[in-house]
Amino acid sequence: MTSQPIDDVGLDLTAPEEIPAERRRRASRGLLIWLRMRRSPRFWIGSTVVGLLILWAVFGPFLYPWKANQQDLFNTASPPTALHWLGTDAVGNDMYALVMAGLRTSLVIGLTAGPAATLIAAIVGSFAGYLGGRVDAVISWLINLLLVIPSFFILIMVTPALKHFVTVGLIIGIAAFGWMVMGQVVRGQARSLRQRDFVRAARYMGISTPEIIRRHIIPNMASLLIIDATLGVVAAVMSETALSYFGFGIQPPATSIGTLLANNTQAATTQPWMFLSPAVVLVVLLFGVSLVGEAFRDAIDPTSGAARD
């Protein structure tokens, strides 16, 4: 009996026992996850939205005549027109150019700080879980300590002192205070993996601890880490937006989505285009990244509630 092929590689994911041995070997976990993801509308919608936003933020300024720091004193607080597509703010800055500049800053922080936090969690949690003993105890104590520290207030106190390095400081700060929960999860997974036969065999062969963690521990948690990195982008963007909204994040003359929302909050009812432009872009960005994260989750765990919908 032959299985009914699915997709261009001819794999029937519902009947793996009917797949020839050679093809089963080729059907790695990564391939199976990709096959599930490519059939997910969430993945295609989310990746398209995020991809278009990135292209717009990077290449949009080359196709638009106004710059973020360029003022039109004859059209201050002007609604959207053919001259200024999203209108202007109270001092004549073009909102379309400002939103693109703010989106670039938020994307840099989100796409850097989110994966960086996941990388810290993967390394620290893996060493703690694999080594155990005193190393595990010290790292567990550190994680519990950082979890109770009010990280938001620490960032509020630190970022204004950075002046010209606020963006770098935000990336470091958000990553430094955003890895603890996933670090605990990775620690538990590593404690389980260290008892597996392939890890024991590597240890008996004399392979060093860092090499075992790099080759055997972390790769077996790659799917979980990918999900965390994706959702970490959302958390990092929201953290930057909140800090900038309260005036403790990105400082002028630089701009971000958070600073645009903060500067134009009072105009939300009188000149709504000033507030709605960055707000809508923020919502669309978070929506797209969240869809990609949900697609990863569903592809890795097909029995999840979202996958059954």
In order along its 309 residues, the chain shows pLDDT tens digits of: 444 444 444 444 444 444 444 344 444 667 777 888 888 899 999 999 999 999 999 999 999 999 998 999 998 999 999 999 999 998 899 999 999 999 999 999 999 999 999 999 999 999 999 998 899 999 999 999 988 888 888 888 877 777 778 888 899 999 999 999 999 999 999 999 998 898 999 989 999 999 999 888 998 888 889 889 988 998 999 998 888 888 888 887 889 999 999 889 988 889 999 999 999 999 999 999 989 988 888 887 766 544 444
Q: At what angle do helices 133-148 and 180-193 cross, to 10 degrees?
A: 160
Nearest to 1 by CA among 21, 22, 20, 27: 20
Q: Report d(CA 302, CA 97) in Å as an integer.
A: 42
Q: What pLDDT sits at residue 3?
A: 44
Q: Report d(CA 117, CA 276) in Å as an integer.
A: 30
Q: Report d(CA 110, CA 308) in Å as an integer.
A: 30
Q: Which domains does the chain have, with CATH numbers?
A: 69-308 (1.10.3720.10)
* Secondary element (H or E) of residue 266: none
- In the numeric block, the tokens 């993967």 are attached to 122
Q: Report d(CA 55, CA 42) in Å as an integer.
A: 20
Q: Report d(CA 142, CA 147) in Å as an integer.
A: 9
Q: Report d(CA 181, CA 121) in Å as an integer.
A: 8
Q: Coil, helix or strand for 144? A: helix
Nearest to 240 by CA among 226, 259, 227, 253: 259
Q: Report d(CA 125, CA 118) in Å as an integer.
A: 10
pTM greater than the 0.75 cutoff: yes
Q: What pLDDT sits at residue 10?
A: 42
> In this structure, which long-range contacts are made by residues 243-249, counting pairs with CB atoms below 8 Å and at least 24 apart in sequence?
243/152, 243/155, 243/156, 243/159, 243/170, 246/156, 248/155, 248/156, 248/159, 248/160, 249/159, 249/166, 249/170
Please say whether the beta carbons of 92 and 71 come within 8 A: yes
